[in-house]
Amino acid sequence: MQGNQDLIYRINTHYKDMSKGHKSIAEYILNNYDKAAFMTASKLGKKVGVSESTVVRFANALNYDGYPSLQKALQELVRNKLTTVQRIEMTSDLDQSMVLKSVLKADMNNIRMTIDEIDNDAFEQVVDRIFAADNIYVLGMRSAAPLAEFMGYYLSFMFSNVRIVTSGVNDIFEQLMHIKKGDILIGISFPRYASRTIEAMEFAKGKKVEIVAITDTYLSPLTAYADHTLLARSDMASFVDSLVAPLSLINALIVAISLKHKESISANFSKLEKIWNDYNVYVSKEGE
């Protein structure tokens, strides 16, 4: 569900041709989407004053495969607005004895959905554009900062032009001061989206920089500034962000880049191995 195919666009496009009942549903959703997102078709119908079947037909009229698909789009729309308290409340009834399995299964499901939904062509394009860039900026704030650090750490073994942009002594715009056309910015953010990340991407866009968004849905505010978008599921099990699928996607990018850069990477790591051995960076194998 990309760009002009999102929920709000669908409602606005179909609104003038809707029946009176459908217009009532549409108006309620547009004005109260945070509440409607967690209503059943029956409850939404009662709230608006129409039948449950009218709500189902409304979803079909917007080209959704039934009300559950429309509800899923609504929930994606509001996820970034959920407070930490609301996140906790969503899982307050989780059985303590089932926490481990529930969280692991949720992470496994996020990876499965990422596999099903990933755009392979977009993935390959991002790999090629990273190679072509004059400088590579990897941007991640708040809970996405470790992802940016991880990606930048491994990219720096392959390229000498990598900049990690995150919270620090310097303001984010100071870190982007020299960004220019010909560079690439990889922006990483998941619900709740960091406003500073979006501002930084807007700034870079104004500098004619090519932008990659690594985020969770095409409804993400990052996509407004992205030339390329890679999606990874991050449905949370609680107030803790699930970053398993995003990290796996970043791993895949690093591996794909390394395969295209194999000879120079081997040379770089040969140098690094000597440095690591000389300075005992890693624990030596027994007997060495």
Q: Dump pLDDT digits (tens) for 26-55.
A: 989 877 877 888 889 999 999 999 999 999
Q: Are 20 and 26 in contact (CB under 8 A)?
A: no
H/E segment holding residue 213: strand 210-215
Tell which wins on pLDDT, 9 or 27. 27
Q: What's the topology of domain 3-79?
A: Arc Repressor Mutant, subunit A (1.10.10)
- Amino acid 101: pLDDT: 81
Report the C-alpha gap between 201 and 188 in whole angstroms: 10
- Tell me where in the chain the CATH 3.40.50.10490 domain(s) lie: 115-277
Residue 94, pLDDT above cutoff 60: no
Q: What percent of the chain has pLDDT over 90?
A: 49
Residue 256, pLDDT above cutoff 70: yes
Full-model pTM: 0.71
Residue 5, pLDDT above cutoff 60: no
Convert 224-281 into a string of H (helix), E (strand) and C (coil).
HHCCEEEECCCCCCCCCCCCHHHHHHHHHHHHHHHHHCHHHHHHHHHHHHHHHHHCCC
What is the DSSP code string of 59-123?
Answer: HHHTT-SSHHHHHHHHHHHHHTT--HHHHHHHTTT--GGGHHHHHHHHHHHHHHHHHHH--HHHH
* Class in CATH terms, 115-277: alpha beta
What ranges in 133-225 are assigned the alpha helix state H?
145-158, 172-175, 195-206
Half-sphere exposure of 20 (CA within 13 A, CB side): 2
Q: What would the mean pLDDT of 275-279 be, rounded to a whole number?
A: 85
Cα 243 to Cα 37, 114, 122, 235, 248, distances in angstroms: 23, 12, 21, 9, 9
Tens digits of residue pLDDT in 55-67 = 999 999 999 999 9
Cα 165 to Cα 16, 139, 140, 198, 255, distances in angstroms: 45, 5, 7, 13, 22
Tell which wins on pLDDT, 220 or 77. 220
- Amino acid 228: pLDDT: 96
Tens digits of residue pLDDT in 15-26 = 889 999 999 999
- Tell me where in the chain the CATH 1.10.10.10 domain(s) lie: 3-79
- Amino acid 18: pLDDT: 92
- Amino acid 2: pLDDT: 41
- Amino acid 19: pLDDT: 94
